[in-house]
Structure 1
Amino acid sequence: MSELTIHVPGPVTIQRIRKDINTLTKDELDLLITAWDYIQHQAPDKEDNPNTKSFFTIAGFHGEPFRGAGYSNPSWWGGYCNHGNVLFPTWHRAYLLSLENALRQAPGCENITMPYWNEIFFGPGDLPIIPTGPDIPRLPDFPTPIPQIFLQKKYTYKDGHTIDNPLYSYGFQKSIRDRLSPIPDADYSKPKGYQTVRYPFSGLVGDGDADATGAHNNLMNMLGEPKTTELLQLNVTNWLISEVENDKGKIVGGGTRENYIRSLFAPDYTVYSNTTSAQRYNDDNFDDSGSSGGKASLAAVPIEKPHNAIHLSVGGFEVPGITSYSFVPGANGDMGENDTASFDPIFFFHHCFIDLMFWAWQLRNKHENKLSIRDKYPGTNSVDSQGPTPGTPGGTWLTLDTPLNPFIGKKGKPVTSNDMTNIKKLGYDYDGLAKALSELPSPVQTSATAHVRIGGVSRADAKGSFFLSAWASEPDGGKRLVALEPVLSRWHVAGCANCSTHLNVTAIASIPMTLSEAREANFEVLVHTRGRKYGHSTLGGKTPNLRLGKLLAH
């Protein structure tokens, strides 16, 4: 097994601070660019002896190029990343550390620290203005959600010299072959020299897709760089602040930024850590009996849910019902599927923010030194969701001592979630944002607030990522968007005999309506896939179902 060595808990001589990338000084930004440029020019070397300073090597441990049983067999997942299970936060924490260690190998960059992409766009001093009730008002607009450093093709140093910006895109130093294809619209092979792309461009360049992708990207290039950048910024904005109208006609927040805030109130680590466990928790507490009794609660939001939404927004899925925006058919960025997401440099800055949110949840719940996992709960087995990673047998119960492959500590022992619990022992901390987030007041929920439960959808019926949208009828015959559920997936789920457990997607979300109003409305659920971005009423010949109810406090 290929290995990456990372630091595990021990004596810490330097406490590095991860900052908002928008707050870096020019000198700090120069060092960051130097380090990233360094790892992107390190040769990957051979598969059996990879260069762990190479960005290609590090990026490749997440998904493609696949290895192990998943190399050419869709019954297994060929990447090391964990999604849809309780190892999601801790595995990605270890992954970020391995990248930081590589960055520090660049000459003069020994103390470099990864900054984060601030996806809520508030600093520590701004947080007291954020209400956390059931109807979170739409937060103030922001002009450019993606920092400019990720959008410029060139970078000019303080001394005046210019290089290709390593945070804009990555050029593959080796080709990768999707040996699980052919599946229509699902060949994720990449030739040597391929440059990663984001919305509104397409990165499908396999044999069956290259011509269509070339025509699509030529059309996007004709729009000009300012326009395509504007489209990307607007798409991410729409996902972050996707607005819905409540029963009083007031526009309230219903987007990803609000879900980040709500994830802080998840009741325990198992539910917080992943979508599979949270779906079960919400399902167990969903009450559609029509009774007026019981203490009400809000649906638990796992950190993986807003995480998925950002992947889809950068990777090419549009929020429906936004009147200021038109769909771009054919957009298919690399961030949109687990297979290739980690080759886009912005992936690591996104996950740095996910790790900040994880630490904020730990601080809030006094779990800085110890986590706990519900025994044999959905989301705690290797066959849940994506399926087993290389080196992990099918049917393995996941614990805090499960090896986080391929990461190896200083003493040659596999790194575990217990090793990844306290970030201060790992030698880093975050600026004041994590602590400020941890101190937000708990939300107050009333029994009158409606929740929808959407079911009858299987990831096995979709090729790649998708999302669900729920719509309520209006008296004038129109519709209004009331709920979104992003599902970050991979292309070859249908043939995965070892990830058949918990492939059904169950979405439970609060909606901006009272129960009495909701019971008078008609609802429609649409499934938005790569091939049908406007949405379709069925998936795999099955129609999603929707039930109304409330969430009871556990």
Structure 2
Amino acid sequence: MAEVRNPTYMEHIRHFFEAEDHDCMFPRGKDYSTYTALKNAAIEVYSITRPPNATMPKPVARRWDEDRSKSFLNWITNGHPRGEPTPKKPKTGTADRVRRSISELSEDDVKLLIKAFEGIMDRGTDDPTGYFKIAGIHWYPNTPPDEAYCQHHVAHYHMWHRAYLLQFEDALRSVPGCNTVTLPYWDFAEKLPDWMNRKPFKSYKLPRAVHPAYPKDHATERYSASKIAKNFEDEGILATIEEALKKSSWETFNAEIEGAHDSGHPACGPSLTHPDIASFDPLFWFFHANWDRLWWRWQQIMQATTLWTFRSTFADHSTGIFFVAPLNSMRPNFMTADQTIDLKALGITYTQPDTGVPEIAVDNFGSLLAARGFRAAESPTMSVRIRGIDRLVIPGSFRVQLIANGKSVARRSFFQSTAPVDCPTCRDNALINMDFKVPIKKILGAKMEVKIDVFGRDGKPHAFPLSSVGNPTVNARLPLEI
């Protein structure tokens, strides 16, 4: 490679060490796979890789040439700029399992999918490959409550659900004659097809009680396709997804995309509103296949499709501890979190609609250096954080709204059980924050309020007293640009 005068971490430097190098160094306590780690060890790395007396990488054939070494020194001299990558266009690729949009399925494809769904729905309630047993992993009917495995608002959210989808897809393929079935995804930009309103996808009737609120023969419910589409538009879910795909750090992408996910659940209907019963609604599987596809799309855009390239998107090195034993484990007997990163290695890919490549947004972390200069955006937004909401006292998924002069100017939902105090994951993250970005022109001079609505089991929002959720505070700031 030729010397790069102004390299950035995301565009150039993170690719200087390859998987073989990390595989060799990591067991020896040398982890240079994240921005923070490499920045902190930059002088050491320059010293041990500088030709002609380099000691790393171990294989002589893989040692850096003068141009690469000079490029790395330029990065150090320029203050370790993180920068942004040139985004790559997502593509379908080849794999044993190609998951397609539900809009791409032929009539024969739908018939085969029906056969697979009916096949696992007909299995006994204790059959580990049956619909009832697999759906129950997400929350009910696992008892005692500490046996509830679902992971939300934690480091393994995406990884756990990717493994969960694979387990469900394997069950579908175990039905005789269905060994080629793959789980389709529902692209939220498209309206649900008519066949989703027919058996076995319209609803699922519980073959036995899972909770007093969900007795035997309880049938899952959801809104009409037109109402779901309107809810997604009103909640700004598609716009949030679009913004998330522009983020170059895992932490910012993860926060925004899970926020969209949390709003998407109650937008679909009563059963999908709460994790208690959500996974029993057949739509859950197509819904979550799309969230997994969106993560895979982001991985491709950011060139983060393997474990090491994925780690290179971490803004905070401490994020990486959740991908190393023992913190990489996931219950029940799923694969470990790090094993889910490379979807291609799992033999899976998704078809990708040609929506172009997003323009990557600049991720600014913390404060800007005053000496560099800064400016306010021409159309500024105010970042508002509602900090310290005690989620354990709120009986179910809920929505937080910012009210200006009596009108809602921003809102976000939070997806949780109707009994969060019984959920170990919820208890470990009892106090949560909700972040909003609001155009300043909407709130300038306005009387501001915060409102919380909890979604009942019927999916309808009901006012919940702010005074009951602890002592939340409001932080606001004006984002600055370099």
For normalisation by structure 2, the TM-score amounts to: 0.69
Give the one of 80, 91, 94 matched to 2:160.
Answer: 91
User: 1:469 deviation in Å?
Assistant: 1.1
1:424 match: 344
Q: What SS does the aligned partner of 1:483 have?
A: strand
Residue identity opposite 1:423 in structure 2: L
User: 1:450 deviation in Å?
Assistant: 2.1
Q: For structure 1, which segment, 446-455 or 421-430, has the greater mean C-alpha deviation from structure 2 after superposition?
A: 446-455
Give the one of 453, 467, 471 matched to 2:385.
Answer: 453
**Mapping of residues 500-511 of structure 1, within 5 Å:** 500-511=427-438
1:352 match: 289
1:250 match: none
Q: What SS does the aligned partner of 2:340 have?
A: coil
Alignment coverage as a number of residue pairs: 366
**Mapping of residues 67-466 of structure 1, within 5 Å:** 67=143, 71=144, 76=146, 78-121=147-190, 145-152=191-198, 165-176=199-210, 178=211, 187-191=212-216, 193-199=217-223, 229=224, 233-234=226-227, 236-242=228-234, 255-273=236-254, 278=255, 301=256, 303-315=257-269, 333-370=270-307, 371-372=310-311, 374-376=316-318, 398-401=322-325, 402-408=328-334, 415-433=335-353, 436=354, 439-443=357-361, 446=377, 448-466=380-398
Q: What SS does the aligned partner of 1:99 have?
A: helix
Residue identity opposite 1:463 in structure 2: P
User: 1:536 deviation in Å?
Assistant: 4.7
**What is the rounded CA distance, in whole Å, between the counterparts of 1:418 and 1:540 in structure 2?**
39
Give the one of 417, 439, 443 matched to 1:512.
Answer: 439
Distance of aligned partners of 1:106 and 1:353 in 2 relative to their CA distance in 1, 3 Å threshold: same
Q: What SS does the aligned partner of 2:204 have?
A: coil
Q: What SS does the aligned partner of 2:138 have?
A: coil
Give the one of 19, 23, 27 matched to 2:104.
Answer: 23
Paired residues of 2:386 and 2:433 also in contact (CA < 8 A): yes
User: 1:543 deviation in Å?
Assistant: 6.9
Q: What SS does the aligned partner of 2:338 have?
A: coil
1:60 match: 136
Higher helix share: 2
Residue identity opposite 1:90 in structure 2: M
User: 1:446 deviation in Å?
Assistant: 2.2
Residue identity opposite 2:164 in structure 1: Y
**What is the rounded CA distance, in whole Å, between the counterparts of 1:437 and 1:90 in structure 2?**
25
2:399 match: 467
Give CA-to-partner distance per residue, 1:323-342, whole Å, 9 cap, x none: xxxxxxxxxx2211112211
1:202 match: none
- Structure 1 residues without counterparts, runs of 5 or longer: 1-11, 46-50, 122-144, 153-164, 179-186, 200-228, 243-253, 279-300, 316-332, 381-396, 409-414, 474-478
User: 1:240 deviation in Å?
Assistant: 1.4
Distance of aligned partners of 1:498 and 1:54 in 2 relative to their CA distance in 1, 3 Å threshold: closer
Distance of aligned partners of 1:499 and 1:37 in 2 relative to their CA distance in 1, 3 Å threshold: closer
Distance of aligned partners of 1:498 and 1:452 in 2 relative to their CA distance in 1, 3 Å threshold: closer
CA RMSD of the aligned region, Å? Answer: 2.8
Distance of aligned partners of 1:501 and 1:103 in 2 relative to their CA distance in 1, 3 Å threshold: closer
User: 1:376 deviation in Å?
Assistant: 4.6
1:487 match: 414
**What is the rounded CA distance, in whole Å, between the counterparts of 1:311 and 1:99 in structure 2?**
19
Runs of 4+ displaced beyond 6 Å = none
Paired residues of 1:360 and 1:437 also in contact (CA < 8 A): no
Residue identity opposite 1:429 in structure 2: T
Distance of aligned partners of 1:458 and 1:41 in 2 relative to their CA distance in 1, 3 Å threshold: same
**What is the rounded CA distance, in whole Å, between the counterparts of 1:460 and 1:40 in structure 2?**
33
Q: What SS does the aligned partner of 2:323 have?
A: coil
Paired residues of 1:364 and 1:438 also in contact (CA < 8 A): no
**What is the rounded CA distance, in whole Å, between the counterparts of 2:455 and 2:426 in structure 1?**
22
**% identical aligned pairs:** 26
| Bigger Rg over Cα | 2
- Structure 2 residues without counterparts, runs of 5 or longer: 1-92, 363-375
Higher relative contact order (CA 8 A, sep 6+): 1
2:80 match: none
User: 1:88 deviation in Å?
Assistant: 0.7
